[in-house]
Structure 1
Amino acid sequence: MAATDELPIIKLGPEDAMAGLVLSTEARWNQTEEDWRVFLREGVVFGIRTGILLVATAALLPYSGNNAWISMVLVTAGHRRRGLATRLVDACLETARKNGLTSWLDATPDGVAVYGPLGFTPTLQLRRLKLAKSTQAAPAPPAATLDALRARDCRATGFDRTALLTAFAQRSGSRIVATRGSIGLIRDGRTARHIGPLFADNAAEALGLVQAIARSETGPLLIDALAPQAAFLDGMTASGWIIERPFQRMRFGPATTQAEELPFAVAGPEFG
């Protein structure tokens, strides 16, 4: 038995938010301490320690309708390729199974090779885009209400994510904005502001809102767009956004809901 097989899996608590942030920062992810506190407060986060050092994590975040999101699957560089991530994802899946939950995740290309053999099946693809901003800022687009965002989010995902969206909206620096038939949320990240979720009646309206947001911001921006929204993606890249990486959305278990519309951007691969 390898030494890492003997390391117990533990459940993390609120006091572990900063230790989790160390792991996601090492991986150059965009999460903040507040993001970690969402997982620790609303879901369950499994971890593995060597002594007092947190070396691996995975989180299960429940949503409504018997659904849950698996994310924050992180292993520090010196402990990779030892099976820790698989053990932690198995712990998430076992917890989901006991609670009758269908599990979802957004995987990197490397992650697809790991999650496929575990029984996850692909659904749709995402594209992460980044825009490096100048220091010129224009007035922000009109503000919208949390209730309006929640209603649109529920139609597009089939999930009630009131707790998540409320946590986002209550953060310092967060904004919910809308123009015509589009609405979206902007929040702080560790290295860049993040746009999403984003909903619109068509690609032109979605592009218009993103362009208005970009004109009102002074730093780098990230957005996780749905690949099937091809006209939106084309418009984004034509206006200077660069595709950084793809994600593959995957599901473990039966489909539980039917969305009424397709969003243009999601809350992030860690949140869905």
Structure 2
Amino acid sequence: MGATEAPPALKLGVQDAIAGLALSTEAHWNQTEEDWRIFLRDGIVFGIRDGARLVATAALLPYSGNNAWISMVLVSATHRRRGLATRLVDACLDTARKNGLTSWLDATPDGAAVYGPLGFTPTLQLRRLKLARPARAEAPPLSLATLDALAMRDRRASGFDRTALLSAFAQRPGSRIVGTDGAIALLRDGRTARHIGPLLADDTAAALALVDSIVRSETSPLLLDAVASQAAFLEGLTASGWTVERPFQRMRFGPATVTGKESPFAVAGPEFG
């Protein structure tokens, strides 16, 4: 594909999950094949191919209340700086506009510099943290919580009804919905690390106590996408060995249609919101 050519942006299907996974793996992201299947089954994923090879993607995942999440904006290293990501994000925005949807995304600092001029407005900030080697210790078993309890609390925090997404997460092998007094979280497998989120809690102490209980029950590396405004929570995590990997800036394109009644301590991930 020459630099001046304009390959078509195509809608992808569930048969493209493995090809999408190859792109996110090249970028060292934590997505699994099942994550890709959620976007391909429940959302709209645009892609660009070079011959038979998928070289760029962007996804639009609808939520309730006329909202949708833009994510999985990926371009293979061999095809960058050709405007492919911009074309695919434009395709997502055009689809959202035609369907009356407000679009959201979580951008890296470089991405935020691109999305701002397109009309995206910054909202909250996130910090991705990693615990490379949980120090498993003897601990009482974690109390399991229900999907209904998690979905209700998640809806109160985000303003979106994401029962279908959380149910898909919870049904995977290895997933757990866990809770302590005043806190609840979902724990699921990723490609290279287990992911904690969303995490909702009454206060910082309850949030940190639940994370500590999860850490003591795990042996795999852990990831968590914390809300930056929860400063005491972030300080507690870093003091206990978590390291900040990168920031993300949540941004919105279009009018605000929902308002959360509480702030989460950690989100489901930049790809899901």
Determine the C-alpha separation between the residues in 2 that align with 1:12 and 1:36. 11
The aligned residue for residue 119 of structure 2 is 119
Instruction: Show structure 2 runs of 5+ residues with no match.
Output: none
User: Structure 1 residue 3: deviation in Å?
Assistant: 4.2
Determine the C-alpha separation between the residues in 1 that align with 2:140 and 2:207. 18
RMSD: 1.0
The aligned residue for residue 229 of structure 1 is 230
SS where residue 153 of structure 2 aligns?
A: helix
SS where residue 252 of structure 2 aligns?
A: strand
Listed one character per residue, the Cα deviations across residues 143-176 of structure 1 (whole Å, up to 9, x for unaligned) are 0000000000000000000110000000000000
Conserved? CA contact 1:131–1:240, under 8 Å: yes
Equivalent AA in structure 1 for residue 239 of structure 2 = A
User: Structure 1 residue 104: deviation in Å?
Assistant: 0.2
Determine the C-alpha separation between the residues in 1 that align with 2:141 and 2:74. 36
Determine the C-alpha separation between the residues in 1 that align with 2:73 and 2:4. 16
Q: What are the equivalent positions in structure 2 for 1:169-188 lying under 5 Å apart?
A: 169-188=170-189
Listed one character per residue, the Cα deviations across residues 82-132 of structure 1 (whole Å, up to 9, x for unaligned) are 100000000000000000000000000110111111110101100000001
Equivalent AA in structure 2 for residue 230 of structure 1 = A
The aligned residue for residue 249 of structure 1 is 250
Determine the C-alpha separation between the residues in 2 that align with 1:187 and 1:119. 34
Instruction: Show structure 1 runs of 5+ residues with no match.
Output: none
What percentage of residue pairs aligned between the two structures are identical? 77
Conserved? CA contact 1:198–1:265, under 8 Å: yes
Conserved? CA contact 1:135–1:219, under 8 Å: no
The aligned residue for residue 12 of structure 1 is 12
The aligned residue for residue 40 of structure 2 is 40
Equivalent AA in structure 1 for residue 90 of structure 2 = D
Conserved? CA contact 1:140–1:213, under 8 Å: no
Determine the C-alpha separation between the residues in 2 that align with 1:5 and 1:191. 36
The aligned residue for residue 262 of structure 1 is 263
TM-score normalised according to structure 1 size:
0.98
Determine the C-alpha separation between the residues in 2 that align with 1:134 and 1:165. 25
User: Structure 1 residue 71: deviation in Å?
Assistant: 0.2
Determine the C-alpha separation between the residues in 2 that align with 1:5 and 1:64. 38
User: Structure 1 residue 136: deviation in Å?
Assistant: 3.0
Conserved? CA contact 2:134–2:215, under 8 Å: no
Conserved? CA contact 1:133–1:217, under 8 Å: no
Q: What are the equivalent positions in structure 2 for 1:156-171 lying under 5 Å apart?
A: 156-171=157-172
SS where residue 127 of structure 2 aligns?
A: strand
SS where residue 6 of structure 1 aligns?
A: coil
Determine the C-alpha separation between the residues in 1 that align with 2:168 and 2:214. 21
Determine the C-alpha separation between the residues in 2 that align with 1:60 and 1:218. 34
Determine the C-alpha separation between the residues in 2 that align with 1:181 and 1:140. 17
The aligned residue for residue 132 of structure 2 is 132
User: Structure 1 residue 140: deviation in Å?
Assistant: 3.5
Equivalent AA in structure 2 for residue 158 of structure 1 = G
Q: Quick one: structure 1 residues 205 and 84, their matched pair in 2 at CA, closer, same or farther if it must change by over 3 Å? A: same
SS where residue 270 of structure 2 aligns?
A: coil
Alignment coverage as a number of residue pairs: 271
SS where residue 207 of structure 2 aligns?
A: helix
Conserved? CA contact 1:49–1:55, under 8 Å: yes
Determine the C-alpha separation between the residues in 1 that align with 2:35 and 2:106. 16
User: Structure 1 residue 135: deviation in Å?
Assistant: 6.4
Determine the C-alpha separation between the residues in 2 that align with 1:37 and 1:111. 24
The aligned residue for residue 204 of structure 1 is 205
SS where residue 208 of structure 1 aligns?
A: helix
SS where residue 260 of structure 2 aligns?
A: coil
Determine the C-alpha separation between the residues in 2 that align with 1:102 and 1:78. 32
